């Protein structure tokens, strides 16, 4: 589970940690993920629209 992002719900549950306030299971609203700025919405494109995918790799939540 170490390879998953630190904000990943599966990882948090695996390590016995609480989900973040913005997680839909906690907030009851799927929009809180976007409001918290934690989603990929608006920051990604389909891989078939990229010529060199290696130029698009990022690490947002290190």
For the chain, domain boundaries: 1-45
The residue written with tokens 């010529």 in the block is 51
Query: Among 24, 59, 13, 23, which residue's Cα sits nearest to residue 1?
Result: 13
pLDDT tens column, 14-43: 999 999 999 999 999 999 999 999 888 988
15: tokens are 């390590």
Q: What is the pTM of this model?
A: 0.70
The residue written with tokens 């630190």 in the block is 6
Backbone angles phi, psi at 53, to 5 degrees: -65, -25
Residue 62 has pLDDT above 80, yes or no: no
């Amino acid at each position: 589970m170490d390879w998953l992002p630190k904000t990943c719900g599966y990882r948090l549950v695996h390590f016995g940690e609480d989900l973040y306030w913005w997680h839909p299971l906690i907030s009851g609203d799927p929009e809180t993920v976007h409001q918290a700025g934690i989603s990929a919405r608006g920051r990604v494109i389909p891989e078939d629209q990229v010529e060199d995918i290696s130029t698009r790799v990022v690490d947002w939540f290190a």
